[in-house]
Copies of this chain bind each other. A is one copy, B any other.
């Protein structure tokens, strides 16, 4: 059973349950309206040694920041500011006090920078592998919440930054080159927290999510949820080093992927740049289709590359 197969099995099983006011599974976070125009958004992510990180290649302090950053990215993708987290850590005997303190120091440094409270967690032993689970909670106006299902035909499609650095960095790390700039971007991804919360308040921003498994895979989530297709102009993908395959198929870039009302793109880009000092990258548009597919255009011609996103199973 693939990762997505298991998720779908779970979703079907629980489909008839009373959702107790929570929105059903399918976005980067689950959303709970808590009265007035206020909502909480909650996400959780598990990092397993040997699958998501190698102890030799990532310092404990870097991992502390990364474990938090990837969850903050999910909250940012909902258009809300993160306010609190819960942290579970399972530690084998050979990752002792020093490792734990360094990990927590990294986690704390990013929490402090972002003004985020640590409000709970669990610490336990593990036989041999380190396992981290983070829960991040956002809080803000319910009307600011951005969903994968909100893309509309005609919307411009954007990514919030250059893509592929993390995948290239992972290749560097796997060939023992730990000190390249890309290896550092893989070990220390930066979540677009401020951008996400700012876009929450922008009505012209329709669908949003974060890129964790690669554009080729993640964009399909928006297309399926919004029942549409996308045209992507390959030459406009902001691929690091011109490596389009890494940009499209590589995981863990943690840039935001979002769609914007087509007749608002000029104002949007202007205001975004005024706020953050750079422009997001417009890479295509949402088109009408019964098939939720990505149409890749190269110099105006459709191409059919075998680009697949990253999955853990």
B-facing residues in A118-168 (Cβ within 8 Å) = 118-129, 131, 133, 135, 137, 139
Number of identical monomers bound together in the oligomeric complex? 2
Is A83's beta carbon under 8 Å from chain B? yes
Q: Are B18 and A104 in contact (CB under 8 A)?
A: no
Q: Are B88 and A45 in contact (CB under 8 A)?
A: yes
CA of A100 to CA of B4, assembled, Å: 13
Q: Are B44 and A104 in contact (CB under 8 A)?
A: no
Q: Are A120 and B45 in contact (CB under 8 A)?
A: no
Offer 30 A-B interface pairs, CB within 8 angstroms, sorted by A: A1-B97, A3-B125, A5-B97, A7-B123, A10-B104, A10-B118, A13-B104, A17-B111, A17-B112, A17-B116, A18-B115, A18-B117, A19-B117, A20-B84, A20-B119, A22-B119, A25-B118, A32-B119, A34-B40, A35-B35, A44-B88, A44-B133, A46-B89, A48-B125, A51-B90, A86-B135, A125-B313, A126-B131, A128-B128, A131-B131
Residue ranges of A at the interface with B (Cβ–Cβ < 8 Å): 1, 3, 5-7, 9-10, 13-14, 17-25, 29-30, 32, 34-36, 38, 40, 42-46, 48-52, 83-84, 86-91, 96-97, 100-101, 104-105, 108, 111-112, 115-129, 131, 133, 135, 137, 139, 312-313
